[in-house]
Chains A and B, each alone.
Chain A
Amino acid sequence: MAESLLERIVGSRVRSRDDRRFVLLHLPAAFILLLAILSMLAVFIAYSTPIIEKEGYRVFTSSLWRAVEGAPAREWYGLAPAILGSIYTSVIAVIIAAPLSVALAVTIEELAPSRLRGVLSVLTDLMAATPTIIYGVWGLAYLAPLMYGVLSWLHTHLGWLPLFREEPTSGYTIATAGVLLSIMSTPYAAAVIREAYSLIPASLREAAYAIGATRFEAVRILLGMIRPSIIAGLALAFARAIGETVAVSLVIGNSLTITASITSPGVTVSSLIASQFGNAEFYHYMTSALFAGGLVIFLIGVAVNAAAILYMRRWEEAMGLGRA
């Protein structure tokens, strides 16, 4: 009886007592992973319940942020600017990271001579390993002033576009956060694209050259073949960008307004949490509102990630490109 239950959990045959001991010894570790994700979800649902009971769905759609000390009934928290800001900065990051990561992957896998290839691959790993706070400090001290100049120029010359309508008052803007996020997420997207590129059978590359394709044309054909991995890699980059906290909070300017202009300061859910959580204990509902924001990026992150993994797995099976 117990045996068959164990087999059902594991999904494969448990033949001997030896097998059974192995499974029982190692199953708890997998269970801890499941428990970790479920308890995170439980914590976010439990902590955001008070604000959802008070404001209903409007906590996600309102843009009013009113913190009143000692008068819980008058407190009001709307997360719309933060949720839109998270999505906006992450979309900007992915749009910039897309050409960069594809070019980086193709250069490493296809174009660079073998020596340079190793160097580029080390540099990409180093970019992924560099702590996010280092990107944040650099963004605060160097990228923001640089972006201030660039955005001022864009506003003067292309100010009729909604994107650049507001005159930048400092370098701490939505655009700065988007650019910093794109730099940080490029190595992750590039790693996924590289792996798919290296799995393309040599015969297909040879076939492209055999019909007279130039190198650039061959690259374009091969990139077309791995398009699903490119999309999956960019989805993972998006999931990373939407959760990034300290680097963004140092450069985005933390202003609770909804704007389409990337030259204005903005806010994201995680930068809002980072900047407000310390004060939240003085108010009755603010902690709950910040957890509700966390719940939103939790669900977006899980959905994007699951979609990317399933999409890529189906594609790998369809192409017969299983990992060796």
Chain B
Amino acid sequence: MGGPRRSGTRRRILDRLGLALIVALAILAVAPLFHILYVITLRGAEAIAHIGLKRFIVDRPHPFNAENPGGIGPALLGTLELSAATSATATLIALPAAILVAELRGSRISRLTLLLALTLVELPTILVGLTAYAILVDHIVGHYNMLAGILALTLVILPYIVVEASESLRQIPAGLREAAYSLGAPRTRTIYEVIAPAARRGILVGILIGLARAAGETAPLLFTIGGAYEAYHTCLTSEGGAVPLMIYQFIQMPFKPARELAWGASLVLLLIVVSIMVVARLLVREVRL
């Protein structure tokens, strides 16, 4: 009698409970982010306020000096140098690869190139760093150097740019290409003067995602750039520092000023990465990582 109705009620209750559980788990999944953002902002701002913004950005670190911990100047310069050089070299390789993937879509070489990029993106970044160590530090230069860091970071961000750029190149309507061909433009010219400019937003987003990665990666730098924070190095074949590597080393030191520097540096790094992502987000609505 009441059978079907009772089971209907049970299903309705189960429906509510199930949906509530899904939403609760989703909130739990993103909750740590809020705490991380809150904590890094709070402790980082505290540290920077204590040291003074200008001194923190420009000075050399004094990790043992509680009165004046100094700043992250050399590491910040190193990160800018590494990110700029890495984005440039990675783009030079990734763009032709992405064009190959998009232009010859369906062919063996297109599928193979994409598969290689998707494999490279999943390889642990510490292994990329060890490879750069073996080639450039151990064999060619003989000591830690910035070039090895650039090589490692290039291999890390290369596949992100290939995947992102080839996706946006694929979405350019065929009519555009046919119009260029009908004007008698050769294939290479059509791609670089019509197709690629039309896909420039997506390509730029790919480069920005790569830039954010290059600025934030630590593991590829562990055994490549050496970690020198005392002086401003600009020579590519000499040792250098970077903000993420400095955080990793300073947060493990048992000295308060060192950890204060690490917290401040974490906030700076977070701001760099988030602002790059905001620009990328403004360029396209959906950013894939």
Q: What residues on A are CB-neighbors of B12 within 8 Å?
A: 214
Question: B116, A34: Cβ atoms under 8 Å?
Answer: yes
Instruction: Please tell me if the beta carbons of A305 and B281 are within 8 angstroms of each other in the complex.
Output: no
Given A30-B113, A243-B125, are A129 and B289 neighbors across the interface (CB < 8 Å)? Answer: yes
User: Which residue of the partner chain, among A11, A236, A245, contacts B218 with CB atoms under 8 Å?
Assistant: A245
A270/B126 in contact, CB under 8 A: yes
Instruction: Report the Cα distance A119→B40, complex, angstroms.
Output: 21
The chain B residue with its CB closest to the CB of A9 is: B109
* Known contacts A131-B269, A191-B289; A104 and B155 CB within 8 A of each other: no
Q: Is A253 an interface residue (CB 8 A)?
A: no
A134 CA to B126 CA, complexed, in Å: 17
Asked if B122 and A104 sit within 8 Å, CB to CB, the answer is no
A122–B288 Cα distance when bound, in Å, is 10
Smallest distance from the beta carbon of B146 to chain A beta carbons, Å? 19
Any chain B CB within 8 A of the CB of A200?
no
Given contacts A141-B39, A309-B118, contact A246 B33 (CB under 8 A): no
**Cα–Cα, bound, A68→B145 (Å):** 29
* Chain B positions within 8 Å of A34 at CB level: 116
Q: A126-B33, A297-B127 are in contact. Are A33 and B219 (CB under 8 A)?
A: no
Q: Verify A123–B33 contact, CB threshold 8 A.
A: yes
Classify chain A's interface size. Answer: 35 or more
Interface residues of A in 1-37 (CB under 8 A from B): 9-12, 18-19, 21-23, 25-30, 32-34, 36-37
| CB <8 Å contact, A10 and B251 | no
Residue-wise, chain B 104-117 has the 8 Å CB interface mask toward A (1 for contact) of 10111100110111
CA distance A302 to B124 in the complex (A): 10
Question: Which of A33, A122, A298 has the most B CB atoms < 10 Å from its CB?
Answer: A33
Task: Judge whether B26 and A39 touch: CB under 8 Å.
Answer: no
Does B222 contact A277, Cβ atoms closer than 8 Å?
yes
- Say whether A302 contacts B123, CB under 8 Å: yes
Q: Is A111 touching B23 in the complex (CB atoms < 8 A)?
A: yes
| Distance from B274 Cβ to chain A, minimum over Cβ atoms (Å) | 7
Q: Is the CB of A30 within 8 A of B29?
A: no
Considering only CB atoms, which chain B residue lies closest to A304 in the complex? Answer: B122
B120/A245 in contact, CB under 8 A = no
Do the beta carbons of A43 and B135 come within 8 Å of each other? yes
Give the distance to chain B from A148, nearest Cβ to Cβ, in Å: 17
- Cβ-defined contact, A32 with B119, below 8 A: no
Asked if A135 and B36 make an inter-chain contact with CB atoms under 8 angstroms apart, the answer reads yes
Stretch at the interface among B55-63, B68-76, B90-98, B232-240: B90-98
Q: Which range contains the number of B residues in contact with the other chain?
A: 35 or more
Interface residues of B in 189-216 (CB under 8 A from A): 191, 209, 212, 215-216
- Given known A-B contacts A104-B29, A245-B222, A11 and B109 have beta carbons under 8 A apart: yes
The one of A136, A214, A294 in contact with B11, judged by C-beta atoms closer than 8 angstroms, is A214
Residues of chain B within 8 A of A99, CB atoms compared = 25
A59 interfacial by beta-carbon distance below 8 Å: no
Interface residues of B in 37-73 (CB under 8 A from A): 39-40, 43
Residues of B within 8 A of A168 (CB): none
* Separation of A246 and B33 alpha carbons in the complex (Å): 18
A243 to B21, CA, bound (A): 31
- For A142, what are the chain B residues with a Cβ–Cβ distance below 8 Å? 35, 39
Residues of B near A285 (CB, < 8 A) are none
Whether B225 is near chain A, meaning CB under 8 Å from some CB there, is: no
**B150 adjacent to chain A (CB < 8 Å):** no
Q: Is A291 part of the binding interface, using a Cβ–Cβ cutoff of 8 Å? A: yes
Residues in A with CB closer than 8 Å to B115 are: 309
Chain B residues within an 8 Å CB radius of A215: 15, 19
In angstroms, Cα B134 to Cα A187, docked, is 32
Whether A130 and B36, one on each chain, are in contact in the complex, defined by CB atoms closer than 8 angstroms, is: yes
Question: Which residues of B sit under 8 angstroms from A265, Cβ to Cβ?
Answer: none
CB distance from A312 to the nearest CB of B (A): 11
Asked if A124 is at the interface (CB within 8 A of a chain B CB), the reply is: yes
Per-residue interface assignment for chain A, residues 231 to 249, with 1 indicating a CB less than 8 Å from any chain B CB and 0 otherwise = 0000010011011111000
| A246/B218 in contact, CB under 8 A | yes
The answer to whether A125 touches B281, judged by C-beta atoms less than 8 angstroms apart, is: yes
Task: Decide if A18 touches B289 in the complex (CB within 8 Å).
Answer: no
A263 and B285 CA atoms in complex are apart in Å by: 43
Contact between A111 and B222 (Cβ–Cβ < 8 Å)?
no
Q: Which residues of B contact A131 (CB under 8 A)?
A: 215-218, 244, 269-270, 273
User: Is A80 part of the binding interface, using a Cβ–Cβ cutoff of 8 Å?
Assistant: no
- Given the known interface contacts A100-B28, A120-B26, A131-B218, the answer about A26 and B126 at a Cβ–Cβ threshold of 8 Å is no
Other than A44-B127, A298-B123, give 5 A-B pairs with Cβ distance below 8 A. Answer: A18-B188, A26-B103, A103-B23, A123-B30, A215-B15
List 23 A-B pairs, Cβ < 8 Å: A11-B107, A12-B108, A29-B95, A32-B93, A32-B97, A40-B128, A130-B33, A131-B270, A134-B36, A134-B216, A137-B247, A142-B39, A186-B29, A188-B289, A190-B29, A191-B288, A216-B15, A243-B122, A270-B124, A291-B134, A294-B130, A301-B124, A302-B119
- Interchain residue pairs A-B with the least CB separation, the first 6: A243-B124, A11-B108, A131-B216, A103-B25, A216-B18, A12-B107
Q: Chain A interface (Cβ within 8 Å of chain B)?
A: 9-12, 18-19, 21-23, 25-30, 32-34, 36-37, 39-40, 43-44, 46-47, 99-104, 106-108, 111, 120-138, 140-142, 183, 186-188, 190-191, 214-217, 219-220, 236, 239-240, 242-246, 250, 270, 273-274, 277, 291, 294, 297-298, 301-302, 305-306, 309
